[in-house]
Structure 1
Amino acid sequence: MSRSRRSIHRRVLLAAAISATCALGPAGAAMAAAPAQVQTHQTSYTVDSAQLGQGLYQSAYSARNNVLWVTSSVGYPPVTQTQLLKVDPETLKVKAAYTPPLKDEATGAREAIYGVAVDDVHNTVWTTNTLDNSVAVYSQRTGEHLASLPGVKHPRDVVVDQKRNLVWTAGLEDGSVVAFDSRTYQEKKRVTVAGATPAGVAVDGRTGIVYAADLTNGQLIEISPASDKPRLIPAGKGTIDVALSADGRTAYAVNQGSGSVAVIDLQAGVVQKEIATGAGALAAATDPCTGNVFVANRESGTTTVVDPRKGIVLADLATGANTDHVVVAHGTAYVVDKAAVGAQAMDSVHRIRTTG
């Protein structure tokens, strides 16, 4: 590793450590039993919105470049309209748009992208090419398509473990959880759970433990770096996504079937409380500095802010029809919807900031 790359690597890991440290106090505290009735404490937030384009799916924030990367794909196979958007997080304007490679000249079909994650150590963007059963790698600097890696059946999400140079995804159709080397792009690990349909994935950057949300069986699949034998943790009804507390001791499982987020003690492997968020709960992200969890609810068109320690809803915010995904960076949440508003059927990105 060159001196400049080592320097960048240290800066990225230090930034991640500082971000995680600010939430270690209350986020790691023991949680009380579930309240009989969920209380709502409306906190003041501002929501800024901007129409970006058609077919938005997910977003990921790059601290290294101060950029929000957003994926878009329109329609069903053959998908001819798909882009990786480089968005300014302050103005919410598109700075650049990159088009995935062509697959079929006759139909114009392209390698459609859906899930997205950022690797700031190697300055790359990873996407899931869900319909093509693959993941892809792009340069953050130029937007150049660097590689496509096949062999993951219907991947939804992708996450990066920068400390261990690993990128994790999951095959919804074959129950596999797969890791690739973020430097060589070679497959490093594959664990398959028979009968599982893993969707959302999350990784604990401190330990390297990976969690995948099993939609069919309502559980989390836990995979340790030191073992190929997964641990299965009950989570709820229709578990589709998962986020982690900053200290890695607690998981927040998004249960689509019940429109809720389950707060799970990972050491004990039990649900401590379940908090109603909204119909069609689909995705979650944790704010490491407050410990709060943002949950995107597709059917209700809202993003719910939850205090998981107290088991209360802090706010329920309108974020467009078919709210699809949420990511949190520096205390700000970015939410994408699939509202298809106006004559051009545009989808939007919403920026949520607290004002009190």
Structure 2
Amino acid sequence: MKTFQYFKDKFRSKGKRSAPELTEERKSEEYSGLDRTTKSLSSESFPRSIPKAHNLRVFSFSELRRATRDFDPLLAIGRSSFEDVYKGTIKPADAKGEPLVVAIKKLHKDSIFSFHIHLGTKEWLAEVQFLGVVEHPNLIKLIGHCAVNGKREIPRLLVYEFMQNKSLDYHLFQSAFPPLPWKTRLQIIPGAAQGLAYLHEGLAVIYRDFKPSNVLLDDKFNPKLSGFGLATEGPMAGDTHVSTDLKSHIWGFGVVLYEILSGRRSIDRELPQAKELLLHWVKRSPAGSKKFISIMDPGLGNQYSIGAAREIARLADAGLLTSPEGRPKMSEVVERLKQIIQVSEEGSADKMESHPEASESEIKAGEPETNSNTAEIMTPDP
């Protein structure tokens, strides 16, 4: 698997390094450990079309320890097998103005010791290398990093912008949160699609981990993609396999669209077997059928556009086609979503109750239906 190589001479611009703060850090020898370890991961260079880097701040361990009240468990906002995430407060880069609320990821020590075989640490480094040079409104922003014990240690702490509303996963699947309004879902879907389109077609980067827990939401519910540890560099422009390779990862977007419509996880072992696998279940109620509203999130009530929901389901079906060649490009998905949302806003009265053919009694009486799209939907991602 190819990974991202940020610290390469190829990405100097007219003799200048793309991240001057990191250059200064090398002068203090605190960051040279990462430079050596990233070279060991791959001989490939960073993606060819990456734009000019933004600067990363270099924090001391004591700064981030103070920012998190010595990593107070009460400030913990996330945990995985190889990292903990804390809410913290840091000073602005110019030391002026109000403190900045951030999210601070801390890598577990055991991940450091088993670096060459621990997948989590490799994913961590890939994310550092990627977010260190890429900036987009729908991608999470990496603010800075911190190594702990000098030149031999890779950065064990990363500092990100803080996302006030956690992740899409929380709002779709956890009862502690009220159901997401339809309008908010229509805001999140195209924003996430724009982030994917930028990755796929702006950078030829394959984002392999698109799921609700990696769609973070700011204070206004604008989505930003996170979790780039599995992202890889796609084929070069002109490669005969470029379209197929990138389209193979649009499948995950189709799954998430159905999760947003239904308010259900792609796999839920607590449900009856017939409903356990989301894609199998929704195939019984295709977008053009009277039974379609049976898949909609009950938490929405009747406060959504049934016409827009059907079109989003059809778009999901297109992304889930068995053959990658038949799936749309993400830029095409973005444009189609814009059209769907515009029609939905213009016809705001197009609610479920305005469709007599979609009554509950007819849903229960109807037989499973299929159409040309859903008949081809596959269950596993190829």
Q: TM-score, normalised by structure 2?
A: 0.23
Which protein is richer in strand relative to its size? 1
Structure with higher RCO (Cα < 8 A, 6+ apart): 1
Structure with larger Rg: 2
Q: TM-score, normalised by structure 1?
A: 0.24
